[in-house]
Copies of this chain bind each other. A is one copy, B any other.
Amino acid sequence: MPLPIRISHDSAEPLYHQIASQMRSLIFSGQLPAGTLLPSIRELAVETECSVITIRRVYQELESEGLVRTRQGTGTFVSEVEADRRGQYQYEAVRDALKQALERIKMSGLGEREVRDVFEQALRDVFPSEEGTR
């Protein structure tokens, strides 16, 4: 089963960074629970249309952060992660992404009101009108 990862080869953000970042989210959000066997570096390389070495680097980086554990000849597994780090990471990731987007939008000349409107509309796509939420 392929991982829900979306990378862009046109983006200025380096490939290994995009992949690592998204895998952190998957792990911290619990979508990849501790013990899960990750795809082999070759599988993930195909899936993300990049080289095996790049994936290898991602796994190494995640291992150095204690998020995964890799064993030669066997595979790479998700490690146990303290609850503390979970919420913290997701919160900061979203906060940074939002800030960056807002900076970008502001620079285009839009004012606070317009930025809010644009974003409000976008949010409705992500959280499709749950009637009872109001």
Residues of B within 8 A of A106 (CB): 126-127
The answer to whether A123 touches B127 (Cβ under 8 A) is no
Question: Interface size class for chain A?
Answer: 35 or more
The answer to whether B29 touches A108 (Cβ under 8 A) is yes
The answer to whether B126 touches A25 (Cβ under 8 A) is no
The answer to whether B119 touches A31 (Cβ under 8 A) is no
Does A64 make an interface contact (CB < 8 A)?
no
Contact pattern, A 109-122, Cβ under 8 Å of B = 1, otherwise 0: 11111111011011
Binds B, one of A6-14, A40-48, A53-61: A6-14
Say whether, besides A103-B6, A104-B93, A118-B98, A109 and B31 are in contact (CB < 8 Å).
yes
